[in-house]
Amino acid sequence: MNRTLVIPSIDILHGKTVRVVQGIPEMHTSDYGDDPIEMAMLWRAENAKMLHIVDFDASQRQSKENFELVEEVCDSVIIPVEYGGGIRSFNDAKEIFSLGVYRVVIGSLYFDNPTDYAKIIDTFGSARISAAIDVIDDEVVTHARRDRTGIAPVEHAKNLLKFGVERFIVTDILRNGMLGDPNIELSRKIALETGVKVTHSGGISSYEHLLELQKIIDSGVDSVIVGRALYENKFSCQKIWRIAETDIFS
């Protein structure tokens, strides 16, 4: 039986781990500290099969200040690392891949430079690209969620098919980090309408939500990015794991 892949998110701002609420990063205050490398090693110790990194300095300011840190994260674990953070050109993607990242997440570039968008997929292969679909009120938003496009998410997903996209990351921004109810139906609809694999993102806050995703895995929604809920121990047995592993990095 196929299982929904749970992908822990490590969101970085100024070299520190943060948590994100509706796309807005907040400083993280967990007892496990602010070090993204330690978090990567902890999630790997808890048997994560993949990690998702969001670089807010790159996405908001086009800063490369976290690149060395991202490279260290990639070197510290033996699982694939996915990176999202304001990739605005082919050269940006090339540089990120040189850090050891397995897969890059691209969103706004489709609107700003479709030629480079296509070149990235043609050069590195569609398996190493995730197409980000960020949504507010059933409308695709871009540029760190600042700009509305007037395009419905399913329409946008279908437009991306011509580039050979094989995976979408679908995020309902208003549910992101709210620990409420995830918009699972949006992810399912995009998967069914396009026939492309979907990673769900946003709003996951309980084991029951993971079970809901498991029920629709045949639709093509095969994975989920989880951030704040993991950091705040919202899942069964997490607190036991935490107690057992508090001295790992001391």
CA–CA distance, 156 with 128 (Å, rounded to integer): 20
212: helix, coil or strand?
helix
Express each pLDDT in 71-81 by its tens digit.
Answer: 999 999 999 99
Of 1, 14, 27, 22, the residue nearest 201 (C-alpha): 22
| Mean pLDDT value across residues 187-213 | 93
CA 178 to chain CA centroid, nearest Å? 16
- The reported pLDDT for the residue numbered 179 is 57
Does 250 fall in a domain?
Answer: no
203: helix, coil or strand?
coil
What is the gyration radius of the CA atoms in the chain, in angstroms? 17
| Mean pLDDT value across residues 180-206 | 93
**Residue 30 token pair:** 């967990």
> Strand 147-148 vs strand 139-142: parallel, antiparallel, or unpaired?
antiparallel
Stated pTM of the model: 0.88
State phi, psi for 244 to the nearest 5 degrees.
Answer: -70, -25
| Mean pLDDT value across residues 40-57 | 91
**Residue 187 token pair:** 């992810």
CA–CA distance, 27 with 63 (Å, rounded to integer): 18
Number of structural domains in the chain? 1
Express each pLDDT in 204-245 by its tens digit.
Answer: 888 888 889 999 999 999 999 998 888 877 776 554 444 444
Does 131 fall in a domain?
Answer: yes
Measure CA of the first residue to CA of the last residue in the chain; give whole Å. Answer: 38
CA–CA distance, 50 with 40 (Å, rounded to integer): 10
- The reported pLDDT for the residue numbered 187 is 97
| Mean pLDDT value across residues 159-165 | 96
| Mean pLDDT value across residues 40-58 | 91
Does 35 fall in a domain?
Answer: yes
CA–CA distance, 161 with 180 (Å, rounded to integer): 31
| Mean pLDDT value across residues 11-32 | 67
State phi, psi for 122 to the nearest 5 degrees.
Answer: -65, -35
Residue type, 62: Q
> What value does the mean pLDDT of the chain take?
87
Catalytic residues: 11, 134
With beta carbons less than 8 A apart as the criterion, state whether 86 and 144 touch.
Answer: yes
Question: 122: domain CATH number?
Answer: 3.20.20.70
Express each pLDDT in 126-154 by its tens digit.
Answer: 999 999 999 999 999 998 778 898 999 99
Residues 54-80: b if buried by 16+ CB within 10 A, e if exposed: bbbbbbeeeeeebbebbbebbeebeeb
Give the whole-number percent of the chain exceeding pLDDT 90: 63
Q: Hey, CA dihedral for 163, 168, 172, 177, is it positive or negative?
A: negative
Which of the 8 DSSP states describes residue 19? E
Residue 146: CB partners within 8 Å, gap ≥ 6?
none
Range of the domain at 62: 5-245
Does 173 fall in a domain?
Answer: yes
Does 150 fall in a domain?
Answer: yes
